[in-house]
């Protein structure tokens, strides 16, 4: 008989239940079995589990974007590569946002892709409302979509500047931080990226609707 032991969590109401032993799957042998039945079947625990999982994939330091923080050495290799690079940071994505009204318009088109996009916007807005409320509570940034739209139409980005960028890989509090020399304090270092400090919300919204509808 498997005896499950409940492991407490630091916050929330979604403890893990595990059993110690020797378990065999088609791919491996494991010493611990993690039971997620309650997380899947109890609404309160499922919701809390989702919140805890999401919290692991948001920016968790005051200085570094999450992907750069996860692998700052890789980010540094890229910016030092000599390739043509356009950085689309939160400065830009938080200017080109989608709204719940945009979601309504997408859904009204009746197109499957547009309906799915509308659903994603609403779910994302609900998350941002809890974790990182926007100034306009009915809007939400769609980071990756703006970067893709910039490949299709560079006019969607605004205040784009050539600059020298470096990535902190020292392992301290600023590990993974992207440092842009916008004031040209290092005159001997040539620009290696273009960075967008703003974006055009109208163009971005129109592109999303045209592509999805």
Place of tokens 């109208």: 202
Are 199 and 96 in contact by the 8 Å Cβ rule? The answer is yes
- Alpha carbon distance, N-terminus to C-terminus of the chain: 55
Work out whether strand 193-199 and strand 86-87 pair parallel, antiparallel, or are unpaired: parallel
Q: Is 143 a catalytic residue?
A: yes
Listing DSSP states for the chain in one string gives ----EEEP-SSSS--EEEEEEEEE-SS-EEEEEEE-HHHHH-HHHHHHHHHHHHHTTS--SSSS-HHHHH-HHHHHHHHTS-S--EE--HHHHTTSEEEHHHHHHHHHT--HHHHHHHHHHHHHHHHHHHHS--SSTTEEE-HHHHHHHHHH-GGGEEEEEEE-EEE--SSSTTTT-EEE-TT---TTSPP-EEEEEEE-HHHHHHHHHHHH-
> Which of the residues 22, 94, 123, 143 is marked catalytic?
143
Catalytically annotated residues: 143
């Amino acid at each position: 008989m498997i005896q499950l032991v409940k492991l407490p969590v630091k916050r929330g109401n979604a403890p893990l239940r595990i059993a110690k032993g020797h378990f065999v799957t088609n791919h491996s042998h494991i010493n611990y079995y993690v039971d997620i039945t309650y997380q899947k079947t109890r609404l309160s625990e499922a919701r809390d589990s989702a919140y805890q999982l999401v919290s692991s994939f948001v920016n968790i330091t005051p200085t570094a974007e999450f992907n750069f923080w996860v692998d700052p050495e890789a980010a540094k290799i890229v910016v030092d590569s000599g390739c043509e690079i356009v950085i689309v940071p939160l400065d830009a994505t938080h200017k080109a946002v989608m709204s719940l009204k945009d979601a309504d318009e997408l859904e009204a088109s009746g197109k499957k892709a547009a309906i799915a996009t509308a659903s994603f916007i609403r779910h994302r807005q609900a998350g941002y409302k809890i974790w990182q409320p926007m100034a306009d509570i009915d809007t939400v940034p769609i980071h990756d979509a703006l970067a893709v739209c910039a490949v299709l139409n560079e006019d969607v980005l605004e205040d784009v500047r050539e600059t020298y960028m470096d990535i902190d890989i020292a392992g301290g509090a600023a590990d993974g931080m992207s440092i842009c020399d916008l004031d040209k304090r290092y005159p001997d270092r040539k620009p290696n990226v273009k960075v967008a400090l703003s974006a055009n919300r109208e163009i971005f919204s129109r592109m999303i609707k045209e592509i999805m509808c």
